[in-house]
Amino acid sequence: MQNDAGDTTVRRFFTGLCRLIRRYKGTNTSTRDRENVQVEIEIERPLLSFCGIKRRRKRNSTIRDTATNDPTTVPEDLDTLLADYSLALTPRNAASTNHIVLSRPRIDAILHLLLAQAKKRLLETDTTEKINTLYWDYEQFISLSDTLGARRRRRIPNCAVDYALWYGDARDFATNCVVIRARDMIVGGESRQFFPILVAMSLIKHNRVRRKVNREVYGICTNSFTWVFFHLDKRNKLNSLRLNWANGQQQAITAVLSKILNEAVKLRLLSSKPADTWSDSKTRLSPWDVRKWNYAEDKEDNAADFTPSGCESPPGDTKPGGAEKAVEPTPTQDPSTADLASILLQDMHEVLDLKHQPDEDYIWSLGALGEYKMMPDHLKSIFKDYKLAFGDKFWCEVLTRVKFEALLFIVLALIKKRDFGPDTLAPSSSLQ
């Protein structure tokens, strides 16, 4: 009898174990991997208290659920572009892992191409005009004298972020997400590195509460590989999530970013204000831009800040006009003693000993590169997505920069693939 009871217990144990194994095998692998890598950031209590933020006690959160369960995947064009970036910026010797892939081109590509994906769903509707004014803006300054009271005002006179996602007027703090680009590696246990993003979030949150508008805000700190997400809810409670693109968590990162961008699209559509245009940028002066405008207001006084040493016009050297006689050009300086900034444009060829070549066409002949005359399909698609992401801000210098970087790195990647083979790319774990 005792042996039978023992056998029954053993059978039940193994039966339960087999069921557990079958259930585990039936779980989606990518979901399991994403659950295992979710790391919550422990922020020091004094930092939270200073910003007026409370720590969320429960582990469940919106961003955690999205990272775990959302099926959103990395768009194919974005995945291809990031692979080209990595290949273009990686040394030929794959064993040379002591290098850093530039973070700004990767962050630009991820933020803008995912914003384009969020906008594409509304292209065939009558809301196109509104989504044209949903955009990422750069190098935004918060300078608010009455934000956190006199005690804190003396300690935080202003704050700056690298990106702000505007779904409305900046003067109304109509942003649901701000991003700070980490210049160095994000250290796991050092919470003070996240202080700037928490300050920016608290400033936005405080002023938006006073205006009774959307009371949630997201903050992101990233070096393009490690992504640390923060969410501040309407009760001023904070939850966070840390993911790493190089460790196979790019799908989770894409899902969280897409959720934030989709919320911004909804907020833009719900906005009662008419769509803004960029023709009257001066009228859009906001606390975010006040430092820029104040610095540029007096052009005469600030011209010297943007003038290389030696370029200033000497006293009495005025432009010829009317009956005035033009000032005679100064004698050409000896190249060995001339300051580059002081060389006049008309003297450039002589001073630098440059000679004009009448037959220059052969220099620009593609020759062996003729196979690259056709623009790659994914580059065409990326350029269209950039135009969609920037919307009415199509003329800005940032768009020129991101398009140039995409063109430059894609062509460089094509050449490296042709000359060295596709295996020149170092492992992703070394590209951080």
What pLDDT does 329 receive?
A: 52
Q: Torsion over CA of 389, 394, 400 and 401, rounded to 10 degrees?
A: -40
Q: Nearest 5°: CA angle at 390, between 385 and 393?
A: 145
Question: Is 288 inside a domain boundary?
Answer: yes
Instruction: Say how far apart CA 59 and CA 219 lie, in whole Å.
Output: 18
What pLDDT does 60 receive?
A: 56
Question: Is 86 inside a domain boundary?
Answer: no
Q: Which amino acid is at 54?
A: K
Question: Is 198 inside a domain boundary?
Answer: yes
Question: Is 79 inside a domain boundary?
Answer: no
Burial (CB < 10 A; 0-12, 13-18, 19+), residue 34, is buried
Question: Is 249 inside a domain boundary?
Answer: yes
Instruction: Say how far apart CA 240 and CA 188 lie, in whole Å.
Output: 13
Question: Is 329 inside a domain boundary?
Answer: no
Longest dimension (CA), the chain: 125
Instruction: Say how far apart CA 383 and CA 372 lie, in whole Å.
Output: 17
Place of tokens 């966070």: 240
Question: Is 208 inside a domain boundary?
Answer: yes
Q: Which domain holds residue 47?
A: 39-67+127-295
Helix (H, G, I), strand (E, B) or coil at 180: strand
What pLDDT does 27 receive?
A: 39
Closest CA to 177 of 110, 122, 130: 110
CB atoms within 10 A of CB 49: 11
Closest CA to 142 of 88, 91, 196: 196
Instruction: Say how far apart CA 410 and CA 378 lie, in whole Å.
Output: 10
Number of compact structural domains in the chain: 1
Question: Is 400 inside a domain boundary?
Answer: no
pTM of this prediction? 0.69
What pLDDT does 116 receive?
A: 94
What does pLDDT average to in each consecutive run of 10 residues of the chain (432 residues)? Answer: 56 55 42 48 66 64 70 89 87 52 88 94 74 87 55 57 87 86 72 83 74 77 92 85 89 94 88 51 49 48 41 43 49 59 77 75 63 75 92 80 92 84 51 44
